[in-house]
């Protein structure tokens, strides 16, 4: 029988994380580095990414390669795939974490449905779904070589509709493009799970609302609707990431782990 320490170890493995310098990305990166994985850290901002790679390398004594890529641009995605193949030569774990989440001042985004724009819809689909498809496809050869694991990050809004009562009296929005793209990620993962098996496992993580300084009214309503009586914290994703990235989940594929404090259990 294999011991748990061996099953949970990522020594000698390489993990690529998109959106690595963001909130969830940083947490995931630290968790995988602590388990011994070498990292390929992908994000749009070069200086922030380089500083973070140094932070990871210094703290966990693992290699961390920073690669700049705007996932909205197909040429940059193709270059990323080529660069990893040439410079790293192997890949065991792919985490598609980067997401187009927009901002309150982005035109046609966090507004009433009638005012949401096709242009912004296309941008969200490009980053949140098309880029995921292309990276899974482009890295599949490397991942097949050593029983790879793909982890796609969706959202509770990829499986549920929004409760608009939470948004009353706030400037927050919940665009259709975000929901559709994240729903697409979850279904793409299921499709890939049966298509890439038995060589590659493909699973989804769907986080709930993460506390990031939202308006007090929104937080209050969200907490009251959540059985665990709080919003999610970044560190709440660590257990699921460790499970799906390691051999602890060697017989798990096509699943969607929902981390929402019971939000979807009502």
Structural domains in the chain plus CATH codes: 4-259 (3.40.50.720)
- 41 - beta bridge partners? 17, 66
Query: So what's the pLDDT on residue 1?
Result: 73
Query: So what's the pLDDT on residue 15?
Result: 98
Q: With 70 as the cut, is the pLDDT of residue 192 above it?
A: yes
Q: Would you place residue 104 in the very low, low, confident or very high pLDDT band (cuts 50, 70, 90)? A: low
Query: So what's the pLDDT on residue 101?
Result: 85
Which active-site residues does the annotation give?
178
Q: With 90 as the cut, is the pLDDT of residue 2 above it?
A: no
Query: So what's the pLDDT on residue 50?
Result: 95
How confident is the model over 61-78, as a mean pLDDT?
Answer: 98
How confident is the model over 139-145, as a mean pLDDT?
Answer: 98
Q: What is the pLDDT of residues 21-35, one digit of tens each?
A: 999 999 999 999 999
- 65 - beta bridge partners? 40
Query: So what's the pLDDT on residue 56?
Result: 98
Q: Where does the chain show beta strands of DSSP type E?
A: 14-18, 38-43, 64-68, 93-96, 149-153, 201-207, 256-259
**Which of the 8 DSSP states describes residue 189?**
H
Q: Would you place residue 102 in the very low, low, confident or very high pLDDT band (cuts 50, 70, 90)? A: confident
Label residue 63 exposed, middle or buried (CB < 10 Å: 0-12, 13-18, 19+). Answer: middle
- 95 - beta bridge partners? 17, 151
Cα three-residue angle 85-91-92, rounded to 5 degrees: 170
Q: With 80 as the cut, is the pLDDT of residue 108 above it?
A: yes
Mean pLDDT, rounded, of the chain: 96
**Which of the 8 DSSP states describes residue 248?**
G
% of the chain with per-residue pLDDT over 70: 100
Query: So what's the pLDDT on residue 106?
Result: 82
């Amino acid at each position: 029988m294999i011991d748990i320490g061996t099953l949970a170890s990522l020594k000698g493995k390489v993990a690529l994380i998109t959106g690595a310098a963001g909130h969830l990305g940083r947490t995931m990166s630290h968790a995988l580095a602590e388990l011994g994985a070498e990292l390929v850290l992908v994000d749009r901002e070069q200086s922030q990414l380089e500083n973070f790679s140094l932070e990871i390398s210094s703290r966990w004594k693992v290699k961390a390669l920073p690669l700049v890529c705007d996932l909205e641009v197909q040429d940059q995605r193709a270059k990323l795939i080529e660069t990893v193949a040439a410079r790293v030569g192997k890949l065991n774990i792919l985490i598609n974490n980067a997401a187009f989440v927009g901002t309150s001042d982005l035109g046609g985004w966090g507004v009433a449905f009638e005012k949401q724009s096709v242009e912004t819809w296309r941008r969200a689909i490009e980053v949140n779904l098309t880029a995921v498809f292309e990276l899974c496809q482009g890295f599949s050869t490397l991942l097949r070589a050593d029983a790879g694991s793909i982890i796609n990050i969706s959202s509770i809004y990829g499986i549920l509709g929004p409760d608009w009562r939470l948004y009353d009296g706030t400037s927050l929005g919940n665009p259709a493009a975000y929901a559709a793209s994240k729903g697409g990620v979850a279904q793409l993962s299921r499709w890939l799970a049966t298509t890439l098996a038995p060589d590659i496992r493909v699973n989804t993580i769907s986080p709930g609302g993460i506390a990031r300084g939202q308006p007090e009214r929104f937080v209050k309503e969200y907490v009251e609707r959540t059985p665990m009586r709080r919003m999610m914290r970044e560190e709440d994703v660590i257990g699921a990431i460790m499970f799906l990235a390691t051999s602890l989940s060697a017989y798990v594929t096509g699943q969607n782990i929902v981390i929402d404090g019971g939000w979807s259990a009502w």
